[in-house]
Amino acid sequence: MSIQLHDLHHACLRVLDIDEAAARWSIQFGLTVVAKERRRALLACDSEDYCLELVEDREADHDHTGWELAADCSLETAAAHLDACGVHFDREADGSLRFVDPSGGGVQLLPHRERLAAELLPPPGRRTSTLPGFHPRKLGHVNVLAPNMAEMTAFYVDVLGMDISDFLGEAGIWFHLHAEHHQMAIVGMEPAHFHHIAFDIVDWGQLRIFLDHLGRHGRWLGWGPVRHGLAQNLCAYVRIPEENLFVELYCDMEILRLPHTPREWSDDPFGSNTWGILPPRSYFRFDDAAVDSERHQREAQGIPLPPAEPS
């Protein structure tokens, strides 16, 4: 029996200082700290158990992405499927399964979680005495850079059971588990690197509020605001140098009619942004020179991005 995934559950980031990072993600992105230990913190967008896991480490970066199994797919079924596919995995103390994808990205499979009664209601109907007014609706998707797109696509389709939403020429592939356009995307670039986590922030007005708020905290945009042709979402990408990734804030994601036939988008400005502005080349890099260039908008001033140092 194959694996069946329900949805994206969480992203886990390694951080240098757990107290600083938990406070920063809470204050800047409106996340609620729902659990905190000496070297670990769990944060939530709304009424879910958690969507962001932070673990203290000597090197800050993406650690793994957690996926929740469907209600009728047990951890034992998932483990048997991974065995049959030749995927080595480790069992965590909580029973979850941990392994890596073909580009070295960490993956965790978690059992299906029964929803609380409040979670079955639309967000405005959920009574609360603790949720802040400023917060994302949910963690919606993740995106990675990987040079081995064919191998990665086979892994996420054949091993993890995702369906392809769309192709952007030969530059990228987007995957879905349900009717929202994508929960996972791969852009064909090297070196392999986790690119961004994405928070659904409901609408255009909330995007303005988020960006004004983040600007006051010294954050800047690597790209955006944009209107993606592929997936149709309105979004902006905020650089987070501390954890070596971007955060996408988005709304108005395309809802697919299932079953869905993958579409072929041309790899041109319209497919990436119907408003026409492509990202600076720093958007695809995470080295110090690229971050510094982006921080000071040097590409926009006609100053070329320095070559990346050999990895």
Q: What does each C-alpha distance from 286 to 3, 30, 148, 236, 272 come to in angstroms?
A: 33, 25, 19, 17, 20
Least confident of 19-23, 27-31, 129-133, 163-167: 129-133
Q: What band does 127 get if pLDDT is binned at 50, 70 and 90?
A: confident
Residue 123 corresponds to which tokens in the numbers above?
A: 């967000």
Please name the residue ranges forming H helices in 48-121.
Answer: 75-84
Residue type, 274: T
Q: What's the predicted TM-score (pTM) here?
A: 0.96
Single-letter amino acid, residue 170: E
Element (H, E) at 100: strand 97-100
- Give the residue from 195, 247, 252, 257 showing the smallest Cα distance to 224: 247
Cα distance between residue 259 and residue 11, in whole Å? 27
CATH topology for 5-118+137-279 is: 2,3-Dihydroxybiphenyl 1,2-Dioxygenase; domain 1 (3.10.180)
* Overall residue count recorded for the chain in this entry: 311
pLDDT above 70 as % of the chain: 99
- The helix/strand/coil state of 37 is coil
- pLDDT > 80? residue 192: yes
Chain centroid, CA 151 distance in Å? 20
Q: What is the mean pLDDT of residues 226-242?
A: 98
- Could you give the count of Cα atoms lying within 13 Å of 182 in the half-sphere of its Cβ? 25
**Amino acid 172: pLDDT:** 97
Q: What angle do CA 231, 43, 134 make, to 5 degrees?
A: 65
Q: What is the pLDDT of residue 309?
A: 81
CA distance 82 to 310: 34
Lowest-confidence range among 71-85, 98-112, 114-128, 186-200?
114-128
Q: What is the pLDDT of residues 26-75, one digit of tens each?
A: 999 999 999 999 999 999 999 999 999 999 999 999 999 999 999 999 99
Which ranges of 112-159 would DSSP assign to H, the alpha helix? 149-154
**Interatomic CA distance for residues 20 and 250, integer angstroms:** 25
Return d(Cα 57, Cα 54) in angstroms, integer.
9
Please give the average per-residue pLDDT across 84-112, as a whole number.
97
Query: 311 falls in which pLDDT band (50, 70, 90)?
Result: low
Residue indicated by tokens 């499979």: 109
Give the amino acid at 303.
I
Sheet holding 106-110, edge to edge: 32-36, 40-44, 52-56, 5-15, 61-69, 106-110, 97-100, 90-91
Residue 145 C-beta-side C-alpha neighbours within 13 Å:
16
pLDDT of 1 > 80? The answer is no
Evaluate if residue 117 carries a pLDDT over 90: no
Looking at the predicted structure, is the pLDDT value of residue 310 above 80? no
Q: Domain locations in the chain?
A: 5-118+137-279
Cβ(45)–Cβ(135) below 8 Å:
yes
For the chain, how big is the Rg over CA atoms in Å?
Answer: 19
C-alpha distances out from residue 306 to 291, 309, 310, Å: 11, 9, 12
Contact criterion met (CB below 8 Å) for 42 and 21: no
Straight-line distance from the first to the last Cα atom of the chain, in angstroms, rounded to the nearest whole number: 40
